[in-house]
Amino acid sequence: MSLKRLWGVLLGVITGIVPFINTVAAIIMAYKLKKKRWVAIYCIISGVTLGIIVLLNVSAHREKPVRTAFPAAFEKNLQTVAVKQDIMMDSVEMESNLQQVLKNTAAELIEQDPKNKPLLAAAQQGRLTGKAGAAFHQLSQCLYGHYLNKVKATTGKGKYDLTFDMEVLATDHQVEDYIRNFIGEYLTAPHGLTDDIASGLALIGYVIAAVGCISNGANLFAGPARASNSNSAGVAKDTMGQSFNRQPSREPVVSPASFQPPPLPQESTATFIVNVNTSGEEELMQLRGINRILAKTIISERKTGGNFTDINDLKKRMELSSEQVDRIRGYVNFDAPKRGGGRVIEF
């Protein structure tokens, strides 16, 4: 490679890695090389990229007021939650109630400004997926922990009612962090087909312009005629060399009979059974609906009140709902822990 061609490639790489600038550089290079068709193509890419930048800036400006108003509106709607329960609520019911809080918050912000509807449509309908859904689940688990602490500390009528003490929640910065994390994940995620198409077109335009900068840069200082002659001479030289140096192929040929496809992966059929009388926290938390707080409570009850005899005994002593029992039925046993053998010597 000549020094001029090397400098051209280097210039193409430097200009090609900068978004939008690479399309302008590709237009200039194509014009210098008298590639009229490519000049038109790069001009179209430049116009589309500029339009996408404007669209994304408008979208970000539209999200800014919602990101500011959402936390306060969500916490205000959280204070209106008042669910009366005769039995302890599980984490699934907790998340269902928080979904209603989310819907009420989205509806309130949409009523304040109808322009927020496309942005908050998924929240209003309770359809959360991906990182936003995972962040909302984390928030639900955190608030469920507050509910369990309240149930543990309350006695008498209303023990299992669901309410949120905002003074207590205000002292827990983790709740505020979870709320802001959820809002950040939800409001910065793409919200429809238009955003997906815009992002895809921007990526395609960037790649085409970057490749164009590098390929045109290689011939920018050599000139079109010289580059064309160089390519023609190279093709002729290769053809002549191949005619003298052609060798028979020595690549091994694999017959169809000797080819064996790789084995298919076997589907796992393994199940697990948790012994409620001997398992620790981590093992108990493998059961659906059993979180760390409930696992610790089971172990504490087991130490003070003795081993559980069966699932009905577990339900009664831990005050579990029928739904919670149905989730773990078939995955637990209540074998008593084995005692060490040996002879007892009395003094």
Are residues 283 and 177 part of one domain? no
In a domain? residue 84: yes
What is the Cα–Cα distance from 17 to 31, expressed in whole angstroms?
20
pLDDT score, position 257? 46
What is the Cα–Cα distance from 106 to 134, expressed in whole angstroms?
18
What is the Cα–Cα distance from 200 to 324, expressed in whole angstroms?
45
Are residues 182 and 74 part of one domain? yes
In a domain? residue 48: no
pLDDT score, position 188? 65
What is the Cα–Cα distance from 189 to 180, expressed in whole angstroms?
14
What is the Cα–Cα distance from 147 to 77, expressed in whole angstroms?
17
Are residues 290 and 172 part of one domain? no
The residue among 191, 213, 234 that closes a domain is 191
The residue among 176, 191, 206 that closes a domain is 191
Are residues 280 and 187 part of one domain? no
Per-residue pLDDT of the chain (347 residues; tens, 9 = 90+): 578 788 878 888 888 888 878 888 889 988 888 888 998 998 998 888 888 877 766 665 555 677 788 888 888 888 888 888 888 989 898 889 898 998 998 898 888 888 878 778 888 887 788 888 898 899 899 898 888 988 888 888 888 888 887 777 878 888 888 888 887 787 765 555 666 777 788 889 889 988 888 888 888 776 544 444 444 444 444 444 454 455 554 555 544 444 444 444 433 333 679 999 899 999 999 998 899 998 999 999 999 989 999 999 999 998 899 988 998 998 999 887 765 544 443 43
In a domain? residue 51: no
Please give the residue range of the domain that contains residue 303. Answer: 274-333
Structural domain count, the chain: 2
In a domain? residue 125: yes
Are residues 187 and 69 part of one domain? yes
pLDDT score, position 343? 45
pLDDT score, position 266? 38
> How many other C-beta atoms lie within 10 A of the C-beta of residue 320?
22
The residue among 171, 191, 211 that closes a domain is 191
pLDDT score, position 267? 37
Are residues 296 and 181 part of one domain? no
pLDDT score, position 269? 39
In a domain? residue 305: yes
pLDDT score, position 114? 86
In a domain? residue 4: no
Are residues 178 and 278 part of one domain? no
Are residues 280 and 186 part of one domain? no
DSSP one-letter string for 294-340? HHHHHHHHHHHH----SHHHHHHHHT--HHHHHHHTTSEE-PPPPPP
In a domain? residue 27: no
Are residues 168 and 278 part of one domain? no
Long-range contacts, 287-290 (Cβ 8 Å, 24+): 287/327, 287/328, 287/331, 287/332, 288/327, 288/328, 288/331, 289/90, 289/91, 289/92, 289/324, 289/327, 289/328, 290/328
Are residues 78 and 179 part of one domain? yes
In a domain? residue 220: no
